[in-house]
Structure 1
Amino acid sequence: MSRLAPDGPAAAGASDPRERRRVVLATIVGTTVEWYDFFIYASAAGLVFGQLFFEPAGSSLGTLLAFGSVGVSFLFRPLGAFVAGHLGDKYGRRVVLVLTLVLMGVATALIGLLPTYAQIGVAAPVLLVLLRILQGISAGGEWGGAVLMACEHAPVARRGLFGASPQVGVPLGLLLASGVLGIMNAVAPGDAFLTWGWRVPFLLSVVLIGIGYWVRRSVEESPVYVEIAQRAETTRQPLLQLFRKHTPLVIVAALVFAGNNAVGYMTTGGYIQRYASDPAGPVGLDRGPVLWAVTASAVVWLVSTWFAGAVSDRLGRRTTYAIGFVVQLAGVLALFPLVNGGTFGSLLLGLIFLSVGLGLTYGPQAALYAELFPASIRFSGVSISYAIGSILGGAFAPAIATALVQATGTTAAVTMYLAGMTVIGLAATLVLRDRTGIPLGPDHEELQAASPIYGLARA
């Protein structure tokens, strides 16, 4: 693996250790709040939304529709990515991060106030889906900005570690969401949870958004964007430039993420929570232990994500990813045999094993994506690749898994589906050249424009 020359002025702008710590804190806090909001919905979809908002459809179809509403938001992530990418490449990373945070928080709090189907009829699921769409738009724009703030402020030799800071916000969001739901399940058990207990985690978002807003407003703009703006070199049509020159790269990058995302949404999409706690299902665990098992697995996911980001600075992004996908495949093959063991211990072991692979294929993603695209269109490139990857991967993974089990009566088909997505992610990784340490500043646009896909010389 080669170490390429560091950035010039942009690197100097990133050299203040105090500002770096502030950026790391801002990206972790902001992405944690964003994904707490996003995962609270997915967990509630698996636990209560089928009964409260899709009641006339019956238990099986209601659950499928609830998971479908989780996936609908992914269809609108590209819209958020397009808008945020355009604004981020023209007006800066920080303003987009603040806007997406507020949009997500408002949508989440309003879900906590929604009347149910029993109270207002069909308007309830319609309003629920509309608010979920707003969450999707926000999530589509959030990730790219957080990634670039972290990676463009980072020293070259520690870009993977710094880039892992927005990545750990995802398992932290899951940890926080599952933990709060677990607490509310204990505070308001049984019918009380269905009546009001599930609403509290959504309303808590108001407090978290205030904290996230304050932290994100305190950081300086990305030094790479500052240098571009000072030169008056912002791209007039970044989206057009991206698709005209880099469409194959967008597709390959999206497939890398899809291989991780489909598997990750077994927990973040609420599927395992529903499957393991269904009284009529083969596992039949109580809701509380299931939520605590997911919470514990989120801790493992967090640690392995941070570890993978740091290791990728030494091994390279491509090698770290390849190892991660192999470990993830092993976790996929072991997941349902362990979950179907029907005990808290076997469920916990299956989720922990899976979380190690998920972290290894998620920690290096921020640095990998930042190093794939030229500075002038980088926000658009990373945001749109991420959004497309989430559609191909996690968007309907819980609904697909539910449909496969209903059709076949076994989880073997789900295992095959997840294994197939993992292999696709590995294959996409292996067609990319390793660009670990490539300069990110605008002085090196020509170097950055060389295609990292084997067999393509230039974009």
Structure 2
Amino acid sequence: MTETRRHARRAGLAALVGTTLEWYDFLIYGTAAALILNKLFFPAISPVAGTLATFATYAVGFLARPLGGIVLGNLGDRLGRKTMLVLTIVLMGVATALIGVLPTYDRIGVWAPVLLILLRLVQGFGAGGEYAGAVVLSVEHGDQRRRGLAGAWAPAGFALATLLATGIYQLFLLLPDDQFRQWGWRVPFLLGIVMLAIGYFIRSGVAETPAFEHAKQAQVAKVGLFAALRRQPKSVLVVIGARFAENGFAYLFPVFAVAFLTQQLDLSESLGLTAVLVASAVQVAAVPLFALLSDRWGRRPVYAAGAIASALWTVPFFLLLGTREPLAVVAGFVVGFGICYPAMLAPQAAWFAELFDTTTRLAGFAFAREIGSVLAGGFLPLIATALLAWSGHWWPVAVYLGLLTVLTLVALAVGPETRSRDIDSAGTRPAVTTG
């Protein structure tokens, strides 16, 4: 029992730290896209068009994520969770650091955005397997009576990554504008090498999960994505649908809303980043709380409450931004991103893992989750910016997020409640629904 708990703690720490570092890599691009990349890589077009182009390259990273989910998820189901997670941290760390040394448009012309897109694709490919792998590792190692809490390590890492990425950019915004434009924006990307070294050290010391070892000893022939699609197509569709609201709101606040504050309301970049920073700190505390509630009340009720609360908060959120009062702006972010959103994020981790068998868990989870990411979060800043440009007002953005919420509520109604399922014995048989 002591050995089991030690492995569970180490797996949780690996999920927390690894997810923090890798999603720092992915999110730092979103922060930079909202603040500076349009001016450096797309300077020949208007500010609005440049923002659209930058968010388009942001979306490109999401297009690579399903492919990463297929390849890395199958690798994780065949060779082990640990092998895949070590590979993802190398991919994302190297790609992020290379963005930090990339020449801008005024140096190499059109090749600058082309290379930016290529590196963003590598980031997206690595991210396609990262989160699912971290969740599966911690859930399979964790206390099976509290899988919601065990799965919360990775979403808490996402919150910490947002806090870290935003906080570091906040520091470099203190530089004079010319210094930030010349070299200051690059340093947060170059820190990807440091993140890579730390994450690699931690993850290389984690043991493989008992559930995977049991399935491996059973010598199950069919593993991975195609087995998941054949045996559990409903689970795949439920995960995709459940992602719409959660992932849409995930990128409304730290990406689109920060750009909205600076470009539409002429407020300082510092205010937007401060609001995200405070909200992310609240989110770090909220994730384990909502995860524990999902262990007690079930995954779906907590998830649905978060989706509905997020949708209802959209209009007050934009009204608070419109006041241009710093305290009101921060309050809008804290309620939306710090409290409502993590009620979806926290129970999602364990629920998605529980929907699949051990032999298809990583591939099915990763692929379905990343398809949802492409359809929701990847295009959210681009679509929201286009809607804003078309209407001149934020109300179409609120309507669009409401539609995403409806799709998620449908998926929650169709999907099973899984908190009582025995996932360790699910390596050789189809999933069963438990209430």
1:142 aligns with 2:107: no
State how far apart, in whole Å, the 1-side matches of 2:431 and 2:5 are. 30
Q: Once the 2 structures are TM-superposed, how far is the Cα of residue 451 of structure 1 from its aligned partner?
A: 5.9
Name the residue aligned to 1:412.
395
1:259 aligns with 2:245: yes
1:45 aligns with 2:28: no
Q: TM-score, normalised by structure 1?
A: 0.92
Name the residue aligned to 1:457.
none
Q: Once the 2 structures are TM-superposed, how far is the Cα of residue 192 of structure 1 from its aligned partner?
A: 1.3
2:92–2:122 Cα contact (<8 Å) kept:
yes
State how far apart, in whole Å, the 2-side matches of 1:84 and 1:416 are. 35
Name the residue aligned to 1:238.
224
State how far apart, in whole Å, the 1-side matches of 2:136 and 2:427 are. 16
Q: Output the amino acid matched with 1:277.
A: T
User: Relative to 1, partners in 2 of residues 1:193 and 1:319: Cα closer, same or farther, differing over 3 Å?
Assistant: same
Matches within 5 A, 1:219-238: 219-233=206-220, 235-238=221-224
User: Relative to 1, partners in 2 of residues 1:443 and 1:370: Cα closer, same or farther, differing over 3 Å?
Assistant: closer
2:215–2:428 Cα contact (<8 Å) kept:
no
Name the residue aligned to 1:80.
68
Share of identical aligned residues, percent? Answer: 39
Q: Once the 2 structures are TM-superposed, how far is the Cα of residue 364 of structure 1 from its aligned partner?
A: 0.8
User: Relative to 1, partners in 2 of residues 1:180 and 1:294: Cα closer, same or farther, differing over 3 Å?
Assistant: same
Matches within 5 A, 1:62-211: 62-186=50-174, 188-211=175-198
Matches within 5 A, 1:279-358: 281=264, 283-355=265-337, 356-358=339-341
Residue 374 of structure 2 is aligned with which of 358, 378, 391? 391
Q: Once the 2 structures are TM-superposed, how far is the Cα of residue 23 of structure 1 from its aligned partner?
A: 1.1
Residues 67-107 of structure 1 deviation map (CA, whole Å, 9 limit, x = unaligned): 11111111111110000111111100000000000100000
The aligned length equals 434
1:285–1:343 Cα contact (<8 Å) kept:
no
1:212 aligns with 2:199: yes
State how far apart, in whole Å, the 1-side matches of 2:49 and 2:296 are. 48
What is the CA RMSD across the aligned residues, in angstroms? 1.6
State how far apart, in whole Å, the 2-side matches of 1:305 and 1:425 are. 19
Name the residue aligned to 1:376.
359
State how far apart, in whole Å, the 2-side matches of 1:292 and 1:192 are. 21
State how far apart, in whole Å, the 2-side matches of 1:218 and 1:367 are. 23
Q: Once the 2 structures are TM-superposed, how far is the Cα of residue 443 of structure 1 from its aligned partner?
A: 5.4
State how far apart, in whole Å, the 2-side matches of 1:444 and 1:55 are. 53
1:255–1:392 Cα contact (<8 Å) kept:
no
1:322–1:430 Cα contact (<8 Å) kept:
no
Greater alpha carbon shift after TM alignment, 437-446 vs 16-25: 437-446
2:33–2:54 Cα contact (<8 Å) kept:
yes
1:431 aligns with 2:414: yes
Q: Once the 2 structures are TM-superposed, how far is the Cα of residue 423 of structure 1 from its aligned partner?
A: 2.1
Q: Output the amino acid matched with 2:296.
A: R
Residues 240-276 of structure 1 deviation map (CA, whole Å, 9 limit, x = unaligned): 21222222321121110121101110134x2111111
Q: Output the amino acid matched with 2:99.
A: I
> Which 5+ residue runs of structure 2 have no aligned equivalent?
none
Name the residue aligned to 1:277.
262
State how far apart, in whole Å, the 1-side matches of 2:334 and 2:3 are. 37
Q: Once the 2 structures are TM-superposed, how far is the Cα of residue 289 of structure 1 from its aligned partner?
A: 2.0
State how far apart, in whole Å, the 1-side matches of 2:326 and 2:298 are. 37
User: Relative to 1, partners in 2 of residues 1:182 and 1:225: Cα closer, same or farther, differing over 3 Å?
Assistant: same
State how far apart, in whole Å, the 2-side matches of 1:251 and 1:451 are. 15
Q: Once the 2 structures are TM-superposed, how far is the Cα of residue 327 of structure 1 from its aligned partner?
A: 1.6
Q: TM-score, normalised by structure 2?
A: 0.97
Residues 293-346 of structure 1 deviation map (CA, whole Å, 9 limit, x = unaligned): 111111122222221111111011011112212221222232111111112111
State how far apart, in whole Å, the 2-side matches of 1:439 and 1:193 are. 52
